[in-house]
Amino acid sequence: MGNRTANYAAFYVAEPFDESNLGANATPDFVYYNQLRAWKARDSSFPFVDAHSKTYSVRDNSKWETLKQRLHERLDVSKNIILFLSRHTKNSRALHEEIDYGINNKGLPVIVIYPDFKEKSDIAGYSGIKQQVRDLWDNLPVFRNSMRNVATIHVPYQKKLIEDALKYDNFKVTSMSNIDAYYFKY
């Protein structure tokens, strides 16, 4: 199994990349990923280990097979997937591959962060996960159809809750015990 210590951040980036100076930063989901990196830079105890820093970078103009190989290498050293799922998320080839390979080949649990929602009560109520959250799953059908194979936790965009989710053992591939869809009580 190797050294599975990293968190694989999966997020939508427009394909092909925007040729402007902003590049991937023009895509909101990528900005949320950078926020995780900033939290880690400010506080070394923040429990995020970036899988993207574990392999060579991929250039915006890389061929699909090169990109796919890097995605797999990063997922191979990961203990889970952090998926940013927002109203901006689209079913790109890269995001589809990340989720399909990560869940269906590597069995990685998924921490789903919803940047459009800020409170626990935005994610779930008395009857479970809210429809406004479930509707976002349609943005990424491979996730919607595969999430039953691994443990998932659904988290609003709130630093403390994200930190808590990153610390839970059930959301690490080596210690995942109960496959289900989890959320923080409202």
Q: Are 114 and 73 in contact (CB under 8 A)?
A: no
Tell me how far apart the alpha carbons of residues 144 and 62 are, in angstroms, rounded to a whole number. Answer: 28
Structure confidence at residue 2 as a pLDDT band (50, 70, 90): low
Using one digit for the tens of pLDDT, what is the confidence trace for 52-72? Answer: 887 656 555 568 888 899 999
pLDDT in the model for residue 61: 59
Q: Residue range 103-120: average pLDDT?
A: 98
- What CATH class has 6-183? alpha beta
| pLDDT tens track for 116-147 | 999 999 999 999 999 999 999 999 999 999 99
Alpha-carbon span 115 to 156, nearest angstrom: 6
Domains of the chain, by residue range, sit at 6-183
Cut 0.85: pTM above it: yes
Give the pLDDT score at 19: 45
